[in-house]
């Protein structure tokens, strides 16, 4: 469904992505792991068109992304940002129902609010918080509200950018379970970037390790646990010594 | 040679920056002309830029009109021209001080607020989130603010003109002994429609400049609190300078002999 071919991106003299190739099949949950600063977020932003790659292509359903194609893609798409990225000026329910209040998926306000509250319930948030503003919520609640926004329009594709960063282990577990549940229940294609191995084991059907601008390794979670690849073993064991330099 | 190279680099940087601002303005106007239109955002921007700027613009105009009346009376006394106080206060406020001081106060209040708000949205990925929600940030954030500023600032200037003249009238009648009716009659006799219209046109241009600078610097904000702070400062400084420069150019166009 999503294919990335030879994606390259440099910022100044620093080559961030150096020919990244990746396939994510329909209904699959793919998790990209890699150390901080290895270009995981840049890869995600290149796929979304938020950052223009220097070379390479992104294909959706076998077709290259055009401007019109990107708009069609975004209409089928939802994303949970690292910091939730809720709009400060809108109450929570309007954040969740953002897509339902404007554009081609527009619904009447009362209906959009009902859907927003249902989605908030789905991620374990009480309807009481619907009229609060993002600044009035804790980090974990903001993440869940962000997740509710991502699924509000029943997307076919979901991206998760560091979904558990900054959360305590219990809340991280809650978010991981929610993501796994939503991905399975909705049958969506999911692409997650993280360096949290708890998330990898909870969310992933397939894992890819991004290192030095290329996809160093790919496989299932079981293959990841069994592999002798020194990059993968160093990463999942969290060792400072190994082929991945601790100084970046 | 190095000084020459530095000068060249500065000129090139200025030209490139000007080009980027012009392209940003064109993108903003293009967004303004094409649906979808975000009316709620326009209404909110009108409130923020227009209604909530009324106190600061009104107070500025009032005290400027009052001080101007005293100054003109005192200065005019040197050649027995105290009687020109009402007409000079009116013309100075309507043609020049109302729009310029109004524009500068709006630049301080609104450009900073727009740049800080959009800059914070940039660094917290809210603008990226807008894109992923199929919403064009130029249409959702920039176009409503440009439109609202072009509408609201002339209205603010008109209100500021009236309050400024009232400030002069209050000082003229209470401190300088000018009869109220005579003061108002002199004001009306000397003011022309062109004086008022030129001030309103200036207000619209200043509004465009202020919103443009706020949006441009906010959208191009650097990372973190320092980036947002720098964007806010740049928005205020550039909009204030451009307001003054545009004022001179428009004064040349409207009133050059």
Give the nearest partner residue to A87 out of B38, B126, B131, using CB atoms. Answer: B126
Q: What is the pLDDT of residue B61?
A: 96
ipTM: 0.87
Nearest CA among B229, B203, B206 for reference residue B217:
B229
Average pLDDT of the residues in A4-29: 91
Interface test with A, best of B36, B44, B132, B219 (most A CBs within 10 A): B132
Q: What is the pLDDT of residue B113?
A: 96
Domain with B189 in it: 39-255
Q: What is the pLDDT of residue A167?
A: 81
Nearest-Cα distance to chain B for A224, in Å, is 31
User: Do the domain assignments include residue B217?
Assistant: yes
Q: What is the pLDDT of residue B203?
A: 96
- Contact A68/B at CB under 8 A: no
A18-76: pLDDT as tens digits = 999 999 998 899 999 988 888 888 999 898 888 889 999 888 888 887 777 777 788 88
What is Dmax (Cα atoms) for chain B?
Answer: 69
Q: How high is the mean pLDDT of chain A?
A: 89
DSSP 8-state symbol, A107: -
Cα A91-A96-A97 angle, rounded to 5 deg:
95
Q: How many domains does chain B have?
A: 1
Q: In which order are the strands placed within the sheet that holds A214-220?
A: A77-80, A157-161, A189-194, A29-33, A206-211, A214-220
Cis peptide before B36 (omega within 30 of 0): yes
Contacts of A41 in chain B (CB under 8 A): none
Q: Which residues does residue A31 pair with via DSSP β-bridges, in sequence order?
A: A192, A207
User: Do the domain assignments include residue B11?
Assistant: no
**What is the rounded end-to-end Cα distance, in angstroms, of chain B?**
44
A126-139: pLDDT as tens digits = 999 999 999 999 98
pLDDT of A248 higher than 60? no
Instruction: Return the CATH class of domain A2-237.
Output: alpha beta
Using H for helix, E for strand and C for coil, what is the string for A14-66? EEEEEEEEEEECCCCEEEEECCCCCCHHHHHHHHHCCCCCCEEEEEECCEECC
- Contact A78/B at CB under 8 A: yes
Give the nearest partner residue to B132 out of A79, A83, A87, using CB atoms. Answer: A79
What torsion do the CA atoms of A93, A98, A99, A103 make, to the nearest 10 degrees? Answer: 130
Cα–Cα distance between A86 and A90 in angstroms, integer?
8
Q: What is the pLDDT of residue A246?
A: 66
Which phi and psi (to 5°) does residue A85 adopt? 55, 40
Q: What DSSP letter does each residue of B176-230 carry, written as one string?
A: S---HHHHHHHHHHH--HHHHHHHHHHHHHHHHHHHHHHHHHHHT--SHHHHHHH
pTM of the model: 0.87
- Contact A10/B at CB under 8 A: no
Tokens read off for A221: 């979670």
Cα–Cα distance between B166 and B174 in angstroms, integer?
12
Contacts of A159 in chain B (CB under 8 A): 132
Tell me the percentage of chain B whose pLDDT exceeds 90. 84
Q: What is the pLDDT of residue B1?
A: 63
Q: What is the pLDDT of residue B141?
A: 96
pLDDT of A180 higher than 70? yes
Contact assignment for A81 to B125 by CB distance below 8 Å: yes
pLDDT tens for chain B, 257 residues: list them: 688 999 999 999 999 999 999 999 999 999 999 888 899 999 999 999 999 999 999 999 999 999 999 999 988 878 777 778 899 999 999 999 999 999 999 999 999 999 999 999 999 999 999 999 989 999 999 999 999 999 999 999 999 999 999 999 999 999 998 899 999 999 999 899 999 999 999 999 999 999 999 999 999 999 889 999 999 999 999 999 999 999 999 999 998 77
Give the nearest partner residue to A98 out of B36, B117, B133, using CB atoms. Answer: B133
Q: What CA–CA distances, in Å, run from A171 to B147, B166, B208?
A: 44, 61, 46
User: Do the domain assignments include residue B16?
Assistant: no
């Amino acid at each position: 469904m999503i294919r990335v071919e030879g994606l390259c991106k440099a910022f100044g003299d620093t080559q961030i992505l150096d020919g990244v190739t990746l396939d994510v099949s329909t209904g699959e949950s793919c998790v990209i792991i890699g150390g901080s600063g290895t270009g995981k977020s840049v890869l995600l932003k290149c796929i979304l068109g938020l950052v223009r790659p220097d070379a390479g292509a992104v294909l959706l359903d076998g077709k290259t992304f055009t401007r019109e194609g990107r708009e069609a893609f975004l209409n089928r798409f939802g994303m949970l940002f690292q910091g939730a990225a809720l709009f400060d000026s809108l109450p929570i329910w309007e954040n969740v129902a953002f897509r339902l209040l404007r554009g081609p998926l527009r619904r009447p306000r009362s209906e959009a609010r009902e859907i927003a509250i249902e989605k908030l319930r789905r991620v374990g948030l009480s309807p009481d918080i619907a009229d609060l503003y993002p600044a009035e919520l804790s980090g974990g609640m903001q993440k869940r509200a962000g997740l509710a926004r991502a699924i509000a329009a029943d997307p076919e594709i979901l991206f998760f950018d560091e979904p558990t960063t900054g959360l305590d282990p219990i809340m991280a577990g809650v978010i991981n379970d929610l993501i796994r549940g939503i991905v399975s229940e909705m049958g969506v294609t999911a692409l997650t970037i993280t360096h949290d191995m708890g998330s990898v084991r909870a969310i992933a059907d397939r894992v890819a390790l991004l290192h030095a601008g290329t996809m160093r390794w790919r496989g299932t979670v079981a293959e990841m646990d069994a592999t002798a690849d020194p990059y993968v073993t160093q990463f999942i064991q969290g060792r400072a010594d190994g082929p991945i330099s601790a100084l970046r | 040679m190095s000084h020459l190279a530095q000068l060249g680099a500065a000129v090139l940087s200025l030209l490139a920056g000007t080009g980027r601002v012009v392209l940003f303005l064109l993108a903003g106007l293009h967004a303004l002309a094409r649906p979808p239109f975000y009316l709620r955002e326009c209404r909110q921007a009108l409130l923020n830029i227009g209604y909530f700027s009324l106190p600061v613009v009104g107070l500025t105009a009032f005290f400027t009109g009052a001080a101007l009346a005293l100054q003109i009376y005192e200065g005019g006394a040197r050649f027995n021209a105290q009687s020109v106080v009402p007409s000079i206060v009116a013309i100075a406020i309507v043609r020049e001080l109302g729009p310029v001081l109004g524009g500068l106060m709006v630049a301080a209040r609104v450009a900073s607020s727009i740049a800080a708000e959009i800059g914070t949205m940039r660094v917290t990925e809210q603008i990226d989130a807008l894109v992923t929600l199929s919403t064009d940030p130029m249409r959702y954030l920039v176009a409503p603010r440009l439109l609202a500023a072009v509408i609201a600032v002339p209205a603010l200037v008109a209100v500021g003109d009236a309050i400024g003249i009232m400030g002069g009238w209050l000082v003229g009648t209470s401190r300088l002994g000018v009869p109220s009716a005579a003061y108002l009659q002199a004001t009306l006799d000397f003011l022309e429609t062109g004086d008022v219209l030129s001030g309103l046109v200036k207000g619209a241009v200043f509004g465009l400049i202020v919103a443009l600078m706020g949006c441009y610097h906010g959208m191009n904000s650097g990372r973190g609190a320092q980036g947002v702070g720098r964007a806010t400062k740049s928005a205020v400084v550039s909009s204030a300078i451009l307001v003054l420069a545009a004022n001179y150019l428009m004064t040349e166009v409207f009133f050059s002999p």
